[in-house]
Homo-oligomer: A and B are copies of this chain.
């Protein structure tokens, strides 16, 4: 139907865009014969579909649920989020007007980048980093500066040194809880340090927190493992905190949000008006219905934490058994991912090709940053598979590693 057009038909910045590594991988792993530990999808079998259907039925009784919505989000949902955020921050009042609802937290990242970043501005990210954030900052034409993730989160001492040496970022993005892909949680000391640096040097901190509520400790309060420290936002005013309903309720709601100073909210609201007018009042009211049903939510989150903890253990135990000392594996205390590093020089990008032939997929470390150290690392999602399937996946990975080592 269409002729082929010369590249001149697209804008300059579009020509340089390329598909993300994760996206291309996901395309490869959609095959039925591949067990994918590559994706960032929450467990489909744990999405509360019946409760979602009940929420739809409950909200689709008033015209309010079918018309256009306020651009900043339906007030009912913003109030529920503000109240939850207030609890999260130890009771500090969080005004409703400081909450903006977005189309997933990916849209929050995009609109914040548009609102805060001029082309050429410096943006500090984790190394390794969430690839969706890298993509957003690259579309915003930011100069990206990566600061290593340690066992206690972003290395704020290193950031401090670079700031002293003259680095002047507009924004620092970090996943402080159950880091994607590293799995670690930022310590309270580093949180305080980062907030203090933001105040001293005048940059924004974007505290991206999709996984904070999937903390395994809640399944075993005596353990204490997994309970994250207070949000970075508790320690400073220049912190914009993002979260989402995608991982705790369902991606289909397309509901994310952020809490930020009013000037930032106002700027994003104007940008969102241009971007897509508003979100869906139906899915926002459904989200408010479920997040506001605290009794049900506590039970649901309990199930999610228990199941994810069980899957995490199944994966890491199987990896330890399969690879003995060849693979160093993180011990997830929450979230959806384990991070592993081969000690025998295995290149994980090369391994992936063989692994796909053996029917298992993961994301090679190099997808998350340019540091050559990540050549030997890989991210594995334990969220989407039952323990039995995870055990099978690890056997396949072992076979792929053996074949790869034999040069097959």
Contact residues in B for A103 (Cβ distance below 8 Å): 103, 254, 276
Contact residues in B for A243 (Cβ distance below 8 Å): none
Instruction: Answer whether residue A44 sits at the interface, using C-beta atoms and an 8 A cutoff.
Output: yes
Does B104 lie within 8 Å of A277, measured CB to CB?
yes
Contact residues in B for A264 (Cβ distance below 8 Å): 5, 9-10
A71 to chain B: closest residue by CB: B23
Contact of A10 among B1, B44, B267 (CB under 8 A): B267
Does A136 lie within 8 Å of B274, measured CB to CB?
yes
Does A47 lie within 8 Å of B23, measured CB to CB?
no
Contact residues in B for A277 (Cβ distance below 8 Å): 104, 106, 132
Does B44 lie within 8 Å of A67, measured CB to CB?
yes
The interface-forming segment of A48-56, A152-160, A357-365, A387-395 is A48-56
The interface-forming segment of A114-122, A187-195, A336-344 is A114-122
Does A49 lie within 8 Å of B63, measured CB to CB?
yes
Distance in Å: Cβ of A22 to nearest Cβ of chain B: 10
Does B136 lie within 8 Å of A261, measured CB to CB?
no
Contact of A106 among B41, B56, B104, B275 (CB under 8 A): B275
Residues of chain A from 61 to 118 with CB closer than 8 A to chain B in the complex: 61, 63, 65-69, 71, 92-95, 98, 102-104, 106-107, 110, 114-118
Does A1 lie within 8 Å of B94, measured CB to CB?
yes
Distance in Å: Cβ of A87 to nearest Cβ of chain B: 15
Cα of A65 to Cα of B50 in the assembled complex, Å? 12
Cα of A11 to Cα of B273 in the assembled complex, Å? 17
Distance in Å: Cβ of A196 to nearest Cβ of chain B: 15
Cα of A41 to Cα of B282 in the assembled complex, Å? 16
Cα of A276 to Cα of B44 in the assembled complex, Å? 20
A203 to chain B: closest residue by CB: B9
Distance in Å: Cβ of A382 to nearest Cβ of chain B: 17
Does B139 lie within 8 Å of A18, measured CB to CB?
no
Number of interface residues of A (CB under 8 A): 84
Instruction: Answer whether residue A281 sits at the interface, using C-beta atoms and an 8 A cutoff.
Output: yes
Contact residues in B for A136 (Cβ distance below 8 Å): 274
Instruction: Answer whether residue A294 sits at the interface, using C-beta atoms and an 8 A cutoff.
Output: no
Instruction: Answer whether residue A17 sits at the interface, using C-beta atoms and an 8 A cutoff.
Output: yes
Cα of A308 to Cα of B312 in the assembled complex, Å? 57
Does A1 lie within 8 Å of B276, measured CB to CB?
no
Instruction: Answer whether residue A251 sits at the interface, using C-beta atoms and an 8 A cutoff.
Output: yes
Instruction: Answer whether residue A307 sits at the interface, using C-beta atoms and an 8 A cutoff.
Output: no
Distance in Å: Cβ of A386 to nearest Cβ of chain B: 14
Cα of A125 to Cα of B201 in the assembled complex, Å? 44
Pick 22 A–B contacts, CB within 8 A, sort by A: A1-B93, A2-B261, A5-B263, A11-B117, A12-B118, A17-B267, A17-B270, A44-B63, A47-B63, A47-B67, A49-B61, A49-B65, A52-B66, A53-B56, A66-B251, A68-B252, A103-B254, A106-B276, A107-B276, A132-B277, A135-B274, A253-B282
